[in-house]
Structure 1
Amino acid sequence: MPDDAVTEPEPIELPDWDTGPRGWPMAAASLRATVDDPTARRATRLADLQSQVRCLIQRARHEKLRVLLGALNRIDQEIDREHAQGSADLSRLNRLIRYFDRLVQHLQKTRDDTPEAIALYTGSTELPELLEDSLRRSGFGAHPIHLENPDPALLEHTGLLIYLARDTADHEREFTQLAELKKRMSACAQSLMISQRDDFAIRAAAVRAGIDHVITYPIDSARLNTLLTGARAYECDDEQITVLLVDDMATAGMYWRKQFARANVRLLFETRPQAAFDTAIAEQPDVILLDLYMPEMDGVDLARIFREHPQLSDVPILFMSTEERDQHRLEAKLKGGDDFLNKSIAGDDLIRMVRYRAQRYRQARAERRTDSLTGLLNHRAITSLVDSELDRAIRQEQPLSVVMIDIDKFKHINDTHGHPSGDRVIRRLSTLLNTRLRKYDGVGRYGGEEFMVVLPATEIDAAVELIDRLREQFAEIAVTTEAGDTIHCQFSAGVAGYPEHITPQEIISAADGALYSAKQAGRNQVKARHYED
């Protein structure tokens, strides 16, 4: 039989790795190995490849993995084309398999089991509704604990301790117990107090007890969610931070690179002002360390340039110098610096300082990007995410879907049940979106009762199916109004994305148009806007 002869693939059974989510990476590796096998004839490789692909198509259909199914169907069609036309190489087929491999990697990230973090709460038998929603969104399982007789097993694995302060509680006694409790917990665990009171006395008592954060009523949802997200990711000093050091002495970079490397601090080092500016814009460091005296431009002038750029205006800037004169130090801080450190500072002390500054900066930045009612990304942050994810989709040759969601008849809800009840409906939907979507999906409050969802590596048809399931789930959620009544709400949604649309403005406009179509068609449904529409 000639090498290029078309052979009908025989049905084959996939090996044992075909079961469970871990099988998909092995399946992708098998496809790559088959197409790259130099020992097999071209026709044999194609036949073997098609047999595997068609088995995987059945599996993807069974598991309802629409994105993988679409990629596999394209591979199957390309194999048919190769059988019929016999191109000089299999480069297009290789590209499709690499694309499938990237989709599998995304799938694997979402399927990796992440143990539920434990949040212990004490001081009350009930959690406030908003706190319960926020804990669920941040991946915490809430467990009550008694200060007098805490469960040692829970303490060992706790990432967060919450104290719900009561007006009538014996705070002094309870704060003493909290301080003892914290000593028995991991040094990485965070603590949070939520109090009806907001005065110096209770805040001072919280500080003496070692409580890390204090929130008072009415609860600021944006700050709460920022703190919970930070507590969820907090693992002592393991989280990497990025520091830009600008110094005209190359030896300074060599010395501090060694010091920072042991503390998981990524050091960017520049000796020239222009290069430092370009690096700061490109890398967005958490902290900037500036030598005060440099030959081309002193640190004060460079700090002023950093401060004038919108992407760098809030980044902590720490001057480093042997300058001892108080007046010169004061002038330097007044012109853009946040602090002044002596170059002789011990390595451990500088590491502690930059970590502290980086943590405060990240927290403040997160709060600026967060909607105060829902804790989701705000309008500016979610629209910026569309821009960045579109760039990624184009570079990686992956689809991207953007969804616009609007709660149906929301004005009627506000008018009938009051604005606090309307806020509850908004928070219920935000919780649903944030807990049902993947970790790397973007969810934001676009404005009012309108939400935006950004779904990387997701084709429009798959996005429609996903959002439609969420629409059905939202309709089943019972929301209790301020008056104690129970109501059920619905939403409409529009979907558009790349490659059907190629600019952020086009995608958002198309999704908004699809949402309008869903509203016009009777509400409580999901519509898609394709290019030809």
Structure 2
Amino acid sequence: MAPKVTAIDERLLQLKARFAERSAIQLRELSAKLTDWQYGHCTREDLQTLYELLHRLAGSSGTFGFHQLGQEAGQLEQVIKAQISDSPPLSDLHLAPEIQARLAQLSRLLVTEPSSSAEAATTDLPDTASEQTQLLVLDSSLNELAEALNNFGFKVVVCEELPLHCAHCWRSTSIIIAPAAKLTQVVNWNQQQAQSHHASPSPILCIGSDDSFAARYALAEQGADGLFLQPVKVPQLAKRIEQIKSQQQQPYASKVLLLDDDQELAEHYRLVLTQAGKNVKVMAEPTELLAVLAEFRPDIVLLDVHMPPYSGVTLARMIRLEPDWLSLPVIYLSSEQDRDLQISALAQGADEFITKPISDEQLILTVRALCHRARQLAKLVSSDGLTGLLNHSHIKRALGHEYARVQRYGHNTSLAMLDLDHFKGVNDTHGHGVGDLVIKALAQLLQQRLRTTDHLGRYGGEEFVVILPECSLAQAKHMFEEICYHFSQLSFMGNNGTFHVTVSVGLALLNDFVSEEHALNAADAALYQQKQAGRNGVTCYLPHAPASDSPE
């Protein structure tokens, strides 16, 4: 059976036809101009135009399946390059007939060369928003643990016995949690289900009490993905679950900004990367670069070195003039083969050099790796060390960005400020180590129960800030009332047994204020009102509320 042709496949074929048609017309026009070369009438500008066309063909032909065309165009490109730099220029008039013949050969290859790799590769899985994580707990003795994980926002299914015949239960499971004593049986069942569904086995986290080297070695040998000793510290378990989930799938599509003056090639790359789950924005006019960077905020930038009348090298340096983009990965995607020129270009502010032509599969794998690395580096720079949320400076930067978007598009965006109630008493009574555990628990709960599009940050101490784009105050209030309830149900182990902590929330709508700072002050005022009203709840900003020092 022939493979199904998708809309993107059809669009790629249309781009290939358009590339061939446009290239054939340009080759004929330039070949005609070379007739004047024999009489000394060909200008340096004519040769420069020919050189730029050959440079484009050398870099893009392979992408559309014309591999021989790309190789021969690259060879002829070097001949023309030598003529442009010759002194006196255009001295080898006898080369004109030979070059015309080679241009004619390029035109024939556009028609006759078979296409072998113009289709998009689909080996990469899309980066999609994550669904609610389902946990399969394989022992009723872990009911209390299951209830605690449910408060963190995980969907938990508890089975009294191993569901040997329950295929549906395995298919919908993200992670298995089981007693360490049952690991052998669980591993066998997990592998059987994976084989029958042609999938990878689900990760297994073990709950046990034996902390010896022999016990840990045995669990590792059987394939366990984690061991948590009883009594289980639920926030640590929740953090491990989040780590596994993030490894299984990206929370949202990687963002790629592509600058290339070859319209067909740029559109081809866009379609291929979009089909692979990337969010791609194409630019052909570099004069809008800084505005697009501020609005789109890409994970990486791909740009060609040669984009007459602009230089990709200069554009890379221009990007680095702005402090916000000093760490933004800039990758050259060019047909330039001269290694010295590549190194020189990299020294001007870029991070890597990818040589055209590049296959669709190589492009996908390379971009995925670069985006993943960029995300990891950005997270290291922007994260709070204790919680993994955005740190103070980066949550404020995110607030400024979202305020600018509100001003531009007018959609509702809510802002929340959270504060743990009576937190000083927690530290004084149970110690700062337990206090840190409470802070991490709230961070984990927020990550699990809020949307992937929301910005979460630790503002300082026991204070948190959350920005919710395209979310009304009513919607935000409902979300945080749920969070307050579930957090109050979490149990923490202290010096005198278990205890509970609550959280207060103040909300404000970014749209209502002349600056993000005014909105932040309003959310803080609403938080104070909630503290005065009894804590453990949510208050929306009310105009003319009295200001005062915030209570604990």
Structure 2 unmatched ranges of 5 or more = 1-129, 546-552
- The code of the aligned residue for 2:542 comes to H
- Structure 1 residue 519, shift from structure 2 partner: 4.2
Match of 1:350 among 338, 363, 375: 363
User: What is the rounded CA distance, in whole Å, between the counterparts of 1:291 and 1:397 in structure 2?
Assistant: 35
3-state SS in 1 of match to 2:326: coil
3-state SS in 2 of match to 1:481: strand
User: What is the rounded CA distance, in whole Å, between the counterparts of 1:373 and 1:382 in structure 2?
Assistant: 15
Q: 1:425 to 1:261 in 2, by over 3 A?
A: closer
User: What is the rounded CA distance, in whole Å, between the counterparts of 1:138 and 1:449 in structure 2?
Assistant: 21
- The code of the aligned residue for 1:494 comes to G
User: What is the rounded CA distance, in whole Å, between the counterparts of 1:333 and 1:223 in structure 2?
Assistant: 38
Match of 2:519 among 502, 507, 515: 507
Equivalent position of 2:97 in the other structure: none
What TM-score do the two structures reach when normalised by structure 2?
A: 0.55
- The code of the aligned residue for 1:491 comes to V
Alignment of 1:331-410 (within 5 A): 331-366=344-379, 368-391=381-404, 393=406, 400-410=413-423
1:294-339: CA deviation from partner (whole Å, max 9, x where unpaired): 4444433333333443444344333233444544444444544333
User: What is the rounded CA distance, in whole Å, between the counterparts of 1:164 and 1:333 in structure 2?
Assistant: 51
Please identify the structure whose Cα radius of gyration is greater: 2
User: What is the rounded CA distance, in whole Å, between the counterparts of 1:518 and 1:266 in structure 2?
Assistant: 40
What TM-score do the two structures reach when normalised by structure 1?
A: 0.56
Identity of aligned residues (%): 28
Pairing 1:231–2:243 present:
no
Equivalent position of 2:269 in the other structure: 256
Q: 1:329 to 1:424 in 2, by over 3 A?
A: same
User: What is the rounded CA distance, in whole Å, between the counterparts of 1:525 and 1:262 in structure 2?
Assistant: 44
User: What is the rounded CA distance, in whole Å, between the counterparts of 2:446 and 2:401 in structure 1?
Assistant: 21
- Structure 1 residue 485, shift from structure 2 partner: 0.7
Structure 1 unmatched ranges of 5 or more = 1-113
- The code of the aligned residue for 2:330 comes to I
- Structure 1 residue 181, shift from structure 2 partner: 7.9
User: What is the rounded CA distance, in whole Å, between the counterparts of 2:300 and 2:510 in structure 1?
Assistant: 35
Q: 1:141 to 1:465 in 2, by over 3 A?
A: closer
User: What is the rounded CA distance, in whole Å, between the counterparts of 1:328 and 1:193 in structure 2?
Assistant: 51
1:17-75: CA deviation from partner (whole Å, max 9, x where unpaired): xxxxxxxxxxxxxxxxxxxxxxxxxxxxxxxxxxxxxxxxxxxxxxxxxxxxxxxxxxx
Q: 1:269 to 1:404 in 2, by over 3 A?
A: closer
- The code of the aligned residue for 1:480 comes to F
Match of 1:283 among 287, 293, 296: 296
**Larger RCO, structures 1/2 (Cα 8 Å, 6+ apart):** 2
Pairs aligned (count): 404
Equivalent position of 1:449 in the other structure: 462
Equivalent position of 2:108 in the other structure: none
- Structure 1 residue 413, shift from structure 2 partner: 1.0
3-state SS in 2 of match to 1:413: helix
Given that residues 183 and 206 in structure 2 are in contact (C-alpha distance below 8 angstroms), is that contact kept between their aligned partners in structure 1? no
Alignment of 1:77-476 (within 5 A): 116-119=132-135, 139=154, 141=156, 152-158=167-173, 160=174, 225=242, 228-229=245-246, 231=248, 241-257=254-270, 259-260=272-273, 262-265=275-278, 267-366=280-379, 368-391=381-404, 393=406, 400-434=413-447, 442-455=455-468, 467=480, 471=484, 474-475=487-488
- The code of the aligned residue for 1:508 comes to L
Q: 1:128 to 1:230 in 2, by over 3 A?
A: farther
- The code of the aligned residue for 1:532 comes to H
Mean CA deviation greater in 329-338 or 143-152: 143-152
- The code of the aligned residue for 1:516 comes to Y
Equivalent position of 2:509 in the other structure: 497
User: What is the rounded CA distance, in whole Å, between the counterparts of 1:262 and 1:472 in structure 2?
Assistant: 41
Q: 1:447 to 1:143 in 2, by over 3 A?
A: farther
User: What is the rounded CA distance, in whole Å, between the counterparts of 2:178 and 2:381 in structure 1?
Assistant: 26
- Structure 1 residue 128, shift from structure 2 partner: 13
User: What is the rounded CA distance, in whole Å, between the counterparts of 2:353 and 2:227 in structure 1?
Assistant: 31
Equivalent position of 1:95 in the other structure: none
- The code of the aligned residue for 2:438 comes to V
- Structure 1 residue 447, shift from structure 2 partner: 1.7
- Structure 1 residue 522, shift from structure 2 partner: 6.3
1:210-242: CA deviation from partner (whole Å, max 9, x where unpaired): x9x9999997998974652463557xxxx7544
Q: 1:215 to 1:303 in 2, by over 3 A?
A: farther
- The code of the aligned residue for 2:502 comes to Q
- Structure 1 residue 276, shift from structure 2 partner: 4.4
- The code of the aligned residue for 2:525 comes to G
Equivalent position of 2:528 in the other structure: 516
